[in-house]
Amino acid sequence: MPAELARAGLRAPVNVTWEVTLRCNLRCVHCLSAAGAAAAGELSTAECRRLIDDWAALKVFQVNIGGGEPFIREDFLELLDRAHARGLVTCVSSNGLLIDRALARRLAGMKRFYLQVSLDGATAEVNDAIRGRGTYARVLTALDHLAREGARFSINTVLTRMNYPQLEALRHIAQSYHAELRVSRFRPSGRGKGSRADLAPSTDQLEAFAAWLERHERVRTGDSFFCLTSEKRRRRGLDMCGAAKMTCCLSPAGNVYPCAFLQEDAFLAGNIRSNSFKSLWDHSPIFAQMRQLQVTACRTCPRFEECRGGCPAVAYHTYREIGRPDPECLVNLRTAA
């Protein structure tokens, strides 16, 4: 039922992915946003405040905040406090480098707040090859601060060819902090386009990863891997692409897209400086197209009800078409193997 109801269009997103800045103190080779320097025309504090108020009025439930590195914005804690005060739940993705003891203490006191800290390897050798020299040690220091202050957090790992052999070790690191491990899918957008050939997991690794997930119910995947997961696991999360149906993405300069992985001109719904967020959500032609998207080639697939064609963004970045099957779904992987 949820899939059909969502296809008809909700009155507001369930959650919004908000890239609050493109500024970043790292240059990760797989960054989906190609973060580094600030984007031209990033939203001001006043604009961000209005946006938060708009989302709260629309009863958006959750705002997933990334970037760039969110904590690099001088006004970020004020914006978080404002979101929480208006009833929004926030989930912040951070590289952890700016989290010292004082910030960890502040974050530990937030009730409507989740934190994901990125770690892309269980050793400095693997993590630092992706995220930059010295980052492994600095992230572990941040995790120590968070754990000592009693903050709830998860460790987020983008699955790559390099860190696949370390999944068990990463799970143990998370356990040692009483944190969850969240594994995200490598998406070939941003700098990921250029690093896909070297970093994207192999067919064998993806298939083995699907089996590994079955054995580890506590490992979370968000909705990243619904194209790979079983019926049992599917019931624990979103079983379809939620872009423009349940979620959308706001860029640092106020552009609205169906999802963070489709920040291309062809998918631009509009900008909140010239349209209200609500009008873009309700009336954008590209959002209407995404809601009606049917991957017809998959309709006869025995797993259709489990993945509905998979991730349109991966299809787009592979074939330049969103209506084609996800090349990394379980069936296509087995065919390729």
Partner 1 sequence: MTAPGTDGIRYRLAPGSQVREEDFGLLFYTQQGPGLYFVGSGNFLGEEFFEGRETLRDWYRRGENAGPSAAAKWSAVKNALESLREKGVILAC
Show Cβ contacts of residue 203 under 8 Å, excluding neighbours closer than 6 positions: 333, 336, 337
Candidate residues 27, 59, 86, 334; the one interacting with partner 1 per rule CB under 8 A:
59
- Select the span of 6-14, 99-107, 172-180, 281-289 touching partner 1 (CB under 8 A): 6-14
Considering only CA atoms, which of 188, 207, 208 is closest in space to residue 197?
A: 188
2 binds partner 1 (CB under 8 A): yes
Structure tokens at 159: 């699955």
Nearer to partner 1, 1 or 197 (CB): 1
Question: Looking at 29, 34, 61, 234, which residue binds partner 1 (CB under 8 A)?
Answer: 61
Smallest distance from partner 1 to CB 236, Å: 8
Site for partner 1 in 161-190 (CB under 8 A): none
- Interface segment toward partner 1; rule CB under 8 A; list 2-10, 22-30, 93-101, 292-300: 2-10
Q: Which residues contact 46 (CB under 8 A, 6 or more apart)?
A: none
Interatomic CA distance for residues 224 and 210, integer angstroms: 12
**What is the C-alpha separation between 204 and 303, in angstroms, rounded?**
19
Contact positions with partner 1 (CB under 8 A) in 205-234: none
Residues from 232 through 291 that contact partner 1 (CB under 8 A)? 238, 246
Report which secondary-structure segment, H or E, holds 116: strand 113-118
Amino acid at 173: I
The nearer residue to partner 1, 83 or 246, going by C-beta atoms, is: 246
CA distance 76 to 73: 5
Judged by CB under 8 A, the stretch of 59-67, 98-106, 145-153, 181-189 that binds partner 1 is 59-67
Q: Which is nearer to partner 1, 61 or 177 (CB)?
A: 61
Q: Which of 14, 34, 169, 268 binds partner 1 (CB under 8 A)?
A: 14
Total residues contacting partner 1 (rule CB under 8 A)?
A: 16
Q: What sign has the CA pseudo-torsion 70, 78, 255, 220?
A: positive
Contact 126, 116 (CB under 8 A): no
Q: Which of 49, 82, 112, 278 binds partner 1 (CB under 8 A)?
A: 112
What is each CA distance from 9 to 237, 246, 268, 308, in whole angstroms?
A: 19, 8, 18, 17
SS3 160: coil
CB of 105 to partner 1, least distance (A): 21
| 1 near partner 1, rule: CB under 8 A | yes
Contact residues: partner 1, CB under 8 A: 1-2, 5, 8, 10-12, 14, 59, 61-62, 87, 89, 112, 238, 246
